[in-house]
Amino acid sequence: MEYRENQGWLIDAMQSATKVLSASQFFAWAQGPLQALLPHEIMICAIAEGPGQELRLRYFTATRYFKSEHFESACNPRNGLIMQVINHWKNTRKPCLVPVPFDEPSYDPEWESMLNRLELRNMASHGQISHQGDLNAWFGFFRVPEMDHQTAYYLELLLPCITATYARVLSNEVGDSVQARAMTNLLSRREMQVLELVRDGCSNQVIAERLGISVMTVKNHVQNIRVKLKVRTRGQAVAEGLRLVIIRPKQDNC
C-alpha cells in the first residue's frame, strides 16, 4: 500500500513539474507535490550556466529564520558550508545526508554545528554531472523532518526532474529579461516621452507644448507608437506599454 501511495506521489510530482515556468511556480511546486517525497523548509539550488562555468546559487525558504545573511555565509566560496558539501559530493557522487541516519561515507563533523548556526538544522543533498563530466547541478534540502534510506533514494530518483525543472525556470527568466530589454528599445526616446504623456491623459496640444514640438509631430509619434505596439487606440498603446514595462504607471495628472 505504501509503495503504491508513494508511486502516486512520484507521478504527481513529475507531471506537475512540467507546468513550472517561473521561480514562484518552482517554489510552489517544491512546497507542494515535491514535499510528499522530499519534505523540507529550505532549498538551495546550484546550477552551471554552461560547460565549465561556475555554479549559480539561489535559495527558496518557507521559514522566516533563514535570512539572506545566512545564505551568503553558507555560500562563501572560500570556507562556506555549501562549497564544502559540493566538493565532498564531487569525491563521492552520492547523496549526502547530515546528520547521517545510516552508515555512509564520512563528512566533516563540523558541518552539523555549521548547519545549526546557519539556521539550516540538517541537510539532504545531491548533485548531477554533465555529459562532459563537470558538475552540472546541485540541490540541498534543509530542515528535513525525517531522513532515512528513502530520502537518499528519492534524491537520486528525482534529481534529473528537479534539475530540468529549475533549468527551465532560469531559461525563462533569461528570455523574459532579453524580451524586456528588446521592448524597451522598441520605441525611440521621443516616442517613449510621448507615450508617457499619453498615459498621463495629456492631449496632443498639451504634449506638443510640453515637448516643444508641433501638434502634427505629436500625431505622427502617436501613430508610430500604435504601429510598433500593434494596437489601434491610444488607450491600448498605454496598456501595452505598461505590460511590456516600456513605461511605468501614471504618477501625476496634467
Q: The CATH number of the domain where 41 resides is what? A: 3.30.450.80
Q: Cβ(107)–Cβ(88) under 8 Å?
A: yes
Residues 40 and 149 in one domain: yes
Answer yes or no: pTM beyond 0.75.
no
Residues 201 and 166 in one domain: no
| Residue 14 domain-assigned (yes or no) | no
- The pLDDT value given to residue 7: 85
Q: Please, which residues have CB within 8 angstroms of residue 52's CB and are 6 or more apart in sequence?
A: 132, 134
| Number of domains making up the chain | 2
| Residue 12 domain-assigned (yes or no) | no
Mean pLDDT for back-to-back runs of 10 residues, the chain (254 residues)? 69 94 92 96 91 86 92 92 95 91 73 96 95 90 92 94 94 64 73 92 94 94 90 87 77 48
Domain end, chosen from 177, 212, 229, is at 177
Q: Which domain holds residue 231?
A: 186-243
Residues 80 and 200 in one domain: no
Q: Cβ(180)–Cβ(150) under 8 Å?
A: no
Residues 193 and 152 in one domain: no
Residues 148 and 45 in one domain: yes
Residue 21: Cβ-neighbour burial (10 angstroms; 0-12, 13-18, 19+): middle
- The pLDDT value given to residue 123: 97
CATH of residue 199's domain is 1.10.10.10
Residues 169 and 65 in one domain: yes
Residues 102 and 218 in one domain: no
| Residue 6 domain-assigned (yes or no) | no
Residues 197 and 97 in one domain: no
- The pLDDT value given to residue 52: 73
Q: Cβ(123)–Cβ(140) under 8 Å?
A: yes
Q: What type of residue is 42?
A: I
| Residue 131 domain-assigned (yes or no) | yes
- The pLDDT value given to residue 182: 55
Residues 134 and 214 in one domain: no
C-alpha count within 13 angstroms, C-beta hemisphere, residue 46: 24
| Residue 248 domain-assigned (yes or no) | no
Residue 167's CB: how many other CB atoms inside 10 A?
16
| Residue 8 domain-assigned (yes or no) | no
C-alpha cell at 245: 514595462
| CA gap 143, 145 in Å, rounded | 6
Residues 42 and 127 in one domain: yes
- The pLDDT value given to residue 174: 67
| Count, residues in the chain | 254
| Residue 250 domain-assigned (yes or no) | no
Q: Please, which residues have CB within 8 angstroms of residue 60's CB and are 6 or more apart in sequence?
A: 23, 26, 27, 30, 42, 43, 45
Domain end, chosen from 150, 177, 204, is at 177
Residues 68 and 165 in one domain: yes
Which residue reads 557522487 in cell numbers? Answer: 93
Residues 157 and 201 in one domain: no
| Residue 5 domain-assigned (yes or no) | no
| CA gap 33, 28 in Å, rounded | 8
Q: Please, which residues have CB within 8 angstroms of residue 24's CB and are 6 or more apart in sequence?
A: none
What is the dihedral sign for C-alpha 246, 248, 253, 254? negative
- The pLDDT value given to residue 133: 84
Domain end, chosen from 133, 150, 177, is at 177
